[in-house]
Each structure stands twice: as structure tokens, then as C-alpha cells.
Amino acid sequence: MTKKLYYEDAYATGFEAVVVSCEEKAIEDKAVKEQIEGAETVVYQVVLDQTLFFPEEGGQSPDKGVIGTANVLDVQIKNDIITHIVDKPFCVGETVRGMIDWKHRFSNMQQHSGEHIFSGTVNRLYGYDNVGFHLSDNIVTMDFNGVLTEEDVVRVEELVNEAIVKNLPIIVTYPTKEELANMEYRSKIEILGQVRIVNVEGVDVCACCAPHVKRTGEIGMLKVMSVQNHRGGVRISMLCGFRALEAFREKSAIITKLMDSLTVSQELLPDRVEKLKASNQDYKYRLAMSKQKLLEIKMTEIPNEQENVFLFEQDIESTVMRNVVNKLTAEHSGVCGVFVGNDEAGYSFIIGSVNVDCTQIGMLLREKTGAKCGGKKPMIQGSVQASEEILKAVLLDF
């Protein structure tokens, strides 16, 4: 077993430990590969007698930092043994000094403590359980097994921030089996062995393995970022503390840029955007109709006695393609099609006929060019990566 120093002091950043084992391992994880500079093909799995590095556990990403001059790329735990994945080797028996990335650790502590208050409040008010939790470097999500309305989420968010402002103590305890039997607490899984209880006084009691802040005021604030339906319940994305601050800086910068670009106040931005969308749709419709008229003029130059007609165009909407194919099949007895794109990017196509089974043409295109298409006897549509010359040769041989 590795001694977990982060349980003794979640605010400590440096520690000394003895190397118990160090094994070379081929790199398989893409995320780990991206963290390593140069052409190294191996990493090292290092076990210490004790560590401050919290491993990936309980839905939370692991700590970052260094051991000696080695970068810690990942931290995993199995059977109470914590393994550090590092980019340099160590000698078994040597004493090393580790330093965790405090900014990353504290951010995770803010997020996780905020999640406890949010989940506990949802459970208390609506009886729903948190059945999924994910805390990575980029996102924090909670999955609840019941539906929350927009008003419900606003209410919970308000209560959570009230609890944060009260600066309530967050107390960690290790109750005995007898004490645990008489205690009401939240837990997503059946826990074997000693249970670690995190108690946000008067708000939530939950089994948890992760480091937390000492008082709720250190969370700073909690902001719900998004809510979506998920497996009969809801998935809520939220941010706390400095992550929430950074998210609002980004949003503020975007809004300011839009205000400057559109020369409009923040309050009028939604209305201006809706007007721009409507105007854009109108222009797109007019452009599509203009392209269709140009194609219709082009179609008048095609001899009526010509049975098969294939047009190759650029930047034509699917509705225009379909309209043109319908007009062509009404005037020509063979196979008619419109291909939109170019030789480099490939083509999307619609092919139709009054007298010919178009599914047979689809089979031919799949066989000769690898086209992806589907449809019924009168009309098929799809995409293909082939040149205009090749496509014409295949179609004319049909």
C-alpha cells in the first residue's frame, strides 16, 4: 500500500519518498505521448512508499507535477498501490522529492467540493442521485437520474452559492462500521473497507476519496454552464472558482468583440443576431433560386433527344439539385444526374430516372468508384471521391 499524504494535508505541495519500484513501459496512451517531447517511446511506472499525488479516481483527473526532474504524466491506483507514470527513470531505494502542481490541485478541489454541494442540494430537494461524475482539466459534469427544469437548476445554483458564501466547514471523517450503520450519506458505489466521509456542514454528507477545500468559501462560486437531457435524467456541466472566472472572461471577450463588430449594446445583441440570421436565410434562398435559374437556362441548351444527362456544378444546395434532377427526368428518357463539388474534395450527387432502375446505377458506382449512396428505383443520392472524368466514363458505360 502507498501512504496517501494528500489525506493528511490536502494543501501540502512538496514531499519526500523512497522509490519502491521503477519499471519501463512502452507508451500506448495518445494523451501521454502528446505530453512527451522528442522521440521517446517509453515511460516509467514508479511506485513510491508515500505520495502527495492524487490518482485518477472517483471520476476525477489525477494531480500534475514533478518527481525530481521527471514530469508526472499520469497517476493511477490499483489495490491501494499508486503508480506514477513519469518520463525519466529512478533507482529503487533512492529518496526523491516530489512537487504537485498546486494550481491544478486547488482547481480540482474547488470543482469537487462545489459538486458535493450541488449534488447534495439536488438530492435533498428532489430526491435524485448523482449517478455519474466527471472532473477533467476541461470539463466538470454531473449526471442525475431525474429531470430538472430550468427553474429547478436556477434554484439549486442559488442555494449552492448561498452555502459557499456562508463559508461552512468541510469536515472529513473515517467512521467505524457501527457509526456508519447509523449515518445517512450519499454514495454512488458499494464501498469495501474503510469509508471516507466528506461532510459539508448542514448541506451534504457523502462518501468520497478526493481532496477537498477546508471551507466552502474557498470554492469562490459555482456557475452552471449547460443542462442537457441524458438517459432519462439530466447532465449538468458546471464550473467553480477560478475556472468559472476564466470561463466568464472568455465569454465577456467574445461578447465585447461582437458588440464592437455589430456596433450594438449587449442588451440588443440577441435581436441583432436574429435579424442577421433571417437576412442570411433570405440571401441564401435568393442565391439558390438564382443558381437554379442559371441551371435551367443551361438545361435549355441540352437537346431533347439526348437520353442521359449529367451536370457537374459547384456550390449548389441539395434542394436545387433535386429540383433540377426532377426537371431533367421529366424531359429526358434516360438517366439524369447532378454532381456538386470538385475532383479534389469529391462530389455529392443525386441521380434520377423515369425508366431506369437507379439502384443499379448505385451498385455500379459503389463497385467502380467506392461511392456511398442509397435510395430507391426512381432516385438515389450520395457522395463519391472520384474525378469528373472517371464518373462520366462509368455512367456512360451503364
- 3-class DSSP state of 227: strand
Strands of the sheet containing 140-144, edge to edge, are 130-135, 140-144, 233-240, 222-230
Torsion sign over Cα 163, 168, 170, 171: negative
pLDDT at 29: 66
Equal CATH topology for 3-100 and 106-249:
no
Read off the DSSP letter of residue 374.
E
**What CATH fold (topology level) applies to the domain 3-100?**
Elongation Factor Tu (Ef-tu); domain 3 (2.40.30)
Break the chain into its structural domains and give their ranges. 3-100, 106-249, 302-396
Query: Scanning the structure block, which residue is given the C-alpha cell 438517459?
Result: 231
pLDDT at 132: 94
Q: What does the alpha-carbon distance between residue 274 and residue 25 come to, in Å, rounded to a whole number?
A: 55
Q: What does the alpha-carbon distance between residue 291 and residue 296 come to, in Å, rounded to a whole number?
A: 9
Q: What does the alpha-carbon distance between residue 367 and residue 117 come to, in Å, rounded to a whole number?
A: 59
Q: What does the alpha-carbon distance between residue 216 and residue 221 come to, in Å, rounded to a whole number?
A: 9
Torsion sign over Cα 149, 150, 151, 155: positive
Q: In 27-146, at which residue ranges do the beta strands (DSSP E only) sit?
A: 42-48, 50-51, 65-67, 70-78, 81-86, 95-100, 130-135, 140-144
Nearest to 223 by CA among 269, 166, 156, 126: 156
pLDDT at 86: 97
pLDDT at 36: 65
* 262 C-beta neighbours (distance < 10 Å), count: 14
Sequence-ordered list of residues with C-beta below 8 angstroms from that of 229, at least 6 positions apart, any chain:
147, 235
**How far, in whole angstroms, is CA 334 from its chain's centroid?**
48
Length of the chain: 398
Q: What does the alpha-carbon distance between residue 6 and residue 213 come to, in Å, rounded to a whole number?
A: 12
pTM higher than 0.85: no
The highest-level CATH class for domain 106-249 is alpha beta
Pairing verdict, β 309-313 and 336-342? parallel
Alpha helices in the chain (DSSP H): 5-8, 30-35, 102-126, 150-165, 177-181, 241-262, 269-300, 318-331, 358-369, 388-396
Torsion sign over Cα 248, 254, 256, 259: negative
Instruction: Report residue 34 as a C-alpha cell.
Output: 502528446
* CATH 3.10.310.40 fits domain 302-396: yes
Q: What does the alpha-carbon distance between residue 146 and residue 302 come to, in Å, rounded to a whole number?
A: 62
Per-residue pLDDT in tens (0 to 9) along the chain, 398 residues: 999 999 999 999 999 999 999 999 987 766 666 666 654 578 999 999 999 999 999 899 999 999 999 999 999 999 999 999 999 999 999 999 999 999 999 999 999 999 999 999 999 999 999 999 999 988 899 999 999 999 999 999 999 999 999 999 999 999 998 999 899 999 877 777 889 999 999 999 999 999 999 999 999 999 999 999 999 999 999 999 999 999 999 999 999 999 999 999 999 999 999 999 999 999 988 988 898 888 888 888 999 899 999 999 988 889 899 999 999 999 999 999 999 999 999 999 999 999 999 999 999 999 999 999 999 999 999 999 999 999 999 998 77
Instruction: Report residue 96 as a C-alpha cell.
Output: 526523491
Residue 364: Cβ-neighbour burial (10 angstroms; 0-12, 13-18, 19+): middle
Cα–Cα separations (whole angstroms), residue 292 to 8, 285, 311, 327: 73, 11, 13, 11
